[in-house]
Structure 1
Amino acid sequence: MSFFDMVEINPRVKIEKAKEYPFVEMGVVEPGSRYVRADHHRIFKNGGAKFLPGDILFARITPCLENGKIAQYQGTQGQAAFGSTEFFVFRARPKISDSAFIYYLAKSDIIRKPAEKSMSGASGRQRADLKSIVDLQVPCPPLPTQRKIAAILSAYDDLIENNLRRIKILEEMAQNLYREWFVKFRFPGHQNARFVDSPLGRIPEGWEVKTMPNAVILRPPLPVPKNKQIPFVSMGSLANDSMLISEIEYRSKASGARFQNGDTLFARITPCLENGKTGFVQFLQTDDIVACGSTEFIVLRSRTLCPEYVYLMARSDSFRDNAIKSMSGATGRQRVREECFDQFFLAQPTDEILMRFQEYIRPKFKMIQSLNHRNQVLRRTRDLLLPKLISGAVDVSELDISVPEAAA
Structure 2
Amino acid sequence: MSRVKLGDVAVEHKETCKGNKDGYPVVGLEHLTPEEVSLTNWDENNDNTFTKMFRKGNVLFGRRRAYLKKAAVAPFDGICSGDITVIEAIPDRVFPDLLPFIIQNDDLFTYAIGKSAGSLSPRVKWEYLKDYEFELPNMDRQKELSDILWAMDTAKKSYQKLIVATDELVKSQFIEMFGKPGTDPYEWGLTTLGECCELNPRRPRDMKPDIDYSFVAMPSVSEDGRIDASIERPYSEVCKGFTYFAENDVLFAKITPCMENGKGGVAKGLKNGAGFGSTEFHVLRPIKGTSDPYWLYIITMFPKFRSDAEKVMTGTGGQRRVPITYLSEYRIALPPIELQEQFAAFVRQSDKSKFELEKALSELTATYKRILAENLG
TM-score by length of 2: 0.75
1:188 — aligned with what? none
CA 1:51–1:249: 2 relative to 1, 3 Å: farther
Cα-to-partner distance string for 1:25-52 (whole Å, 9 max, x where unaligned): 6556544443330165333421386544
Structure 1 residue 19 and structure 2 residue 4: aligned?
Answer: no
2:310 — aligned with what? 324
Q: 1:277 aligns with which of 234, 252, 261?
A: 261
Distance 2:230 2:18 in 1: 41
1:7 — aligned with what? 10
2:69 — aligned with what? 68
Report the alpha carbon displacement of residue 305 of structure 1 after superposing the two structures with TM: 3.3
Q: 1:141 aligns with which of 137, 149, 160?
A: 137
Q: 1:173 aligns with which of 152, 169, 176?
A: 169
Q: 1:105 aligns with which of 102, 107, 119?
A: 102
Report the alpha carbon displacement of residue 155 of structure 1 after superposing the two structures with TM: 3.7
Point out where structure 2 has 5 or more consecutive residues left out of the alignment.
none
CA 1:211–1:335: 2 relative to 1, 3 Å: same
CA 1:179–1:201: 2 relative to 1, 3 Å: closer
Matched to 1:145, the amino acid is R
Q: 1:132 aligns with which of 128, 132, 138?
A: 128
CA 1:230–1:48: 2 relative to 1, 3 Å: farther
CA 1:326–1:386: 2 relative to 1, 3 Å: same
Matched to 1:371, the amino acid is L
2:45 — aligned with what? 42
CA 1:247–1:99: 2 relative to 1, 3 Å: farther
Matched to 1:358, the amino acid is A
TM-score by length of 1: 0.70
Cα-to-partner distance string for 1:173-213 (whole Å, 9 max, x where unaligned): 2222223333359xxxxxxxxxxxxxx775534x3533223
Asked if the contact 1:101/1:150 (under 8 Å) is kept, the reply is yes
Structure 1 residue 338 and structure 2 residue 324: aligned?
Answer: yes
Structure 1 residue 310 and structure 2 residue 317: aligned?
Answer: no
Asked if the contact 1:232/1:251 (under 8 Å) is kept, the reply is no
Structure 1 residue 370 and structure 2 residue 356: aligned?
Answer: yes
After superposing the two structures, state which structure 1 stretch, 247-256 or 358-367, moved more: 247-256
Asked if the contact 1:263/1:280 (under 8 Å) is kept, the reply is no
Distance 2:191 2:286 in 1: 13
Superposed counterparts of 1:82-93, under 5 Å: 82=80, 86-93=83-90
CA 1:147–1:262: 2 relative to 1, 3 Å: farther
Asked if the contact 2:309/2:322 (under 8 Å) is kept, the reply is yes
Q: 2:117 aligns with which of 117, 120, 130?
A: 120
Matched to 2:137, the amino acid is P
Matched to 1:234, the amino acid is P
Distance 2:183 2:126 in 1: 59
1:288 — aligned with what? 270
Point out where structure 1 has 5 or more consecutive residues left out of the alignment.
186-199, 392-408
SS in 1 for 2:314: coil
SS in 2 for 1:171: helix
Report the alpha carbon displacement of residue 349 of structure 1 after superposing the two structures with TM: 0.8
Report the alpha carbon displacement of residue 358 of structure 1 after superposing the two structures with TM: 2.6
Aligned residues: 361
CA 1:133–1:372: 2 relative to 1, 3 Å: same
CA 1:25–1:150: 2 relative to 1, 3 Å: same
Q: 1:80 aligns with which of 78, 81, 84?
A: 78
Report the alpha carbon displacement of residue 371 of structure 1 after superposing the two structures with TM: 0.8
Matched to 1:212, the amino acid is L
Distance 1:40 1:341 in 2: 34
Distance 1:102 1:181 in 2: 49
Report the alpha carbon displacement of residue 343 of structure 1 after superposing the two structures with TM: 2.8
Distance 2:97 2:341 in 1: 48
CA 1:280–1:184: 2 relative to 1, 3 Å: closer
SS in 1 for 2:345: helix
Asked if the contact 1:233/1:249 (under 8 Å) is kept, the reply is no
Cα-to-partner distance string for 1:305-346 (whole Å, 9 max, x where unaligned): 334333432232431232111123334543333322233111
1:192 — aligned with what? none
CA 1:10–1:228: 2 relative to 1, 3 Å: farther
CA 1:377–1:22: 2 relative to 1, 3 Å: same
Distance 2:30 2:228 in 1: 16
Distance 2:101 2:227 in 1: 20
CA 1:366–1:308: 2 relative to 1, 3 Å: farther
Distance 1:260 1:5 in 2: 58
CA RMSD of aligned residues (A): 4.2
SS in 1 for 2:132: coil
Matched to 1:365, the amino acid is D
Asked if the contact 1:11/1:91 (under 8 Å) is kept, the reply is no
Distance 1:259 1:21 in 2: 51
Distance 1:271 1:376 in 2: 25
| Identity across matched positions, percent | 21
